[in-house]
Amino acid sequence: MPEKYMLNFDTRDLPQEDDEYMVLGSGIAGLYTALAASCAGGSVTVLTKQTMIDTGTDKAQGGIAAALGDSDSPALHREDTLVAGAGLCDTEAVAVLVNEGPDRVRELMQMGAIFDMDSHGLALTREGAHSQRRILHASGDATGAEIQRVLTQRVRETDKVKVLENHYVTELLVRDNTCYGVLAFDREKKAFKVFRGKVVVLATGGLGRIFEHNTNPEIATGDGIAIAFRAGAEVMDMEFIQFHPTVLNLPGAPRFLISEAVRGEGAYLRNCQGQRFMPLCHDLAELAPRDIVVRAILKEMAKTSSSIVYLDLTHMDPDEIRSRFPNITKTCAEYNLDITIDPIPVSPAAHYMMGGVKTNLVGETSISGLYACGEVSCPGVHGANRLASNSLLDGLVFGGRIVHETQKFLKDYRPHRLEFACDWLLDPLTIDYQGLRRDLEVLMGQKAGPVRSGNGLKEALEFFDHWGHLKRHSVTCAEQMEVKNMLQVGELVAEAALARRESRGGHYRVDCPDNHPRWQKHIIFRR
């Protein structure tokens, strides 16, 4: 079984630690789950790939969606989520999200999260495909950083939660479809260690870094999906990648997310000739669902032979812009762009993974003892296209449900001291892994980006077939492990995208531009 592991090891030769909960990841999903478990009386070890704040949560700008406004309701939030999801949302999962979400957000505020206020109370904004102003935000456009701050502080104050930074989880230890723990690589000591857990929770985030142009942090290389798939877990909806419509595209500047909240507050999209085009594309104009805005931008770029469009705030009050979007204002100013008088050059980039490790409504995967929440997971709540600002809420709601469910599981738990080993992988190959990674990133952007074709996806799969022999060889360092994981999830994305012969939500094929009722179903892979 050369595909099951990516390196040779023997747990009998390695140091080992035990805990009730092993939580993998330190974003909103991982830290909230860890805190909830500790409050329920459990002891928790959190393993995180880099530092505690190297997360997608910390970079989130727009906000967190919850039906807390006087004119809003969970029913309205549910309807907006289902419409955005393009027919593939699990209706029960969506009902859980929107009904339990407000209490989870109130809990964040009780922990000390400070959201922006106005004369009416919470300063709620509106984003694409939302019918109501229901987006809470903090420090203007630094919502994720505020949530990360609060959860990090609370975890550090909690004796029952131990956080180990720079611990890169390389393998799940699974036998007879039951997970008993993980193998992790201590990046500082350059050594492996076994962590046994009664409950293992994947909260490792997304895979945006497999694309050349993306908004994701360095850690988002799809590790959680890759290790779960190799261990035999089901993964679902891998073709559905959300590309954010408005990402800074300026020579010499890194790709930087320009929050959807900018359009929510009234900014316009204009082509390189200064013309607005979204009112001709959708009734909601700039506030249409993200997949529609992305395709409209790409069409406009092709029509005008340009690599960018412009996000225009110049008709808005300059003081309000600076107050509402201080982080975006500051970042653009570093590249001599004054967003109060200069339109912002933008283009789409990979942003969020709607698919992932398949779970039920309490976070259970197809492997006993293995749970997942946040962007690594796929309970079906986002369907084919995530509604803006539902992602942070997702991590809170389903992380809490995992803890509630596993309290019953732990009562009947009977420990088994199984050992695991792999000795069948061939010696490492001497190849340019960094060059291979760059080739992969470019390939995914060109062949599996926001516009796809059957021929392009077949070319992508030929690339993965060419490098398939790497599965038979071990690796020597974390950087090589990352590339192997990126190859694994890239192949799954391309395979699913080729299989789905229609266009729906975040998946668009020029050779199959329409959606079809017979494709209103999910693609599930299992090794």
**Length, in residues, of the chain:** 527
Active site residue 290: yes
The amino acid at residue 507 is: H
Tokens 């790409």, located at residue: 298
Q: Is the CB of residue 211 less than 8 Å from the CB of residue 191? A: no
In Å, what is the CA distance from 258 to each residue of 77, 123, 209, 230, 346? 24, 19, 18, 35, 8
Cα gap 480→265, rounded to integer Å:
43
Cα gap 454→304, rounded to integer Å:
26
Rounded (10°) angle between helices 478-499 and 223-231 = 80
State phi, psi for 175 to the nearest 5 degrees: -140, 140
Q: Is the CB of residue 171 less than 8 Å from the CB of residue 47? A: no
Terminal CA-to-CA distance of the chain, rounded, Å?
11
Cα gap 311→297, rounded to integer Å:
11
Residues whose CB falls within 8 Å of the CB of residue 49, separated by 6 or more in sequence, listed in order = 25, 166, 167, 168, 169, 204, 219, 223
Cα gap 33→495, rounded to integer Å:
32
Burial (0-12, 13-18, 19+ Cβ within 10 Å), 258:
buried
Alpha carbon 311 to its chain's center: 24
Q: Is the CB of residue 88 less than 8 Å from the CB of residue 380? A: yes
Q: What is the DSSP string of 459-492?
A: HHHHHHHHTGGGGGB---SHHHHHHHHHHHHHHH
Burial (0-12, 13-18, 19+ Cβ within 10 Å), 73:
middle
Largest CA distance in the chain: 68
State phi, psi for 250 to the nearest 5 degrees: -135, 130
Cα gap 506→218, rounded to integer Å:
22
Q: Which one from 290, 324, 452, 509 is the annotated catalytic residue?
A: 290
The amino acid at residue 242 is: Q
Q: Is the CB of residue 175 less than 8 Å from the CB of residue 154? A: no
Cα gap 449→446, rounded to integer Å:
6
**Active-site annotation, residues:** 290
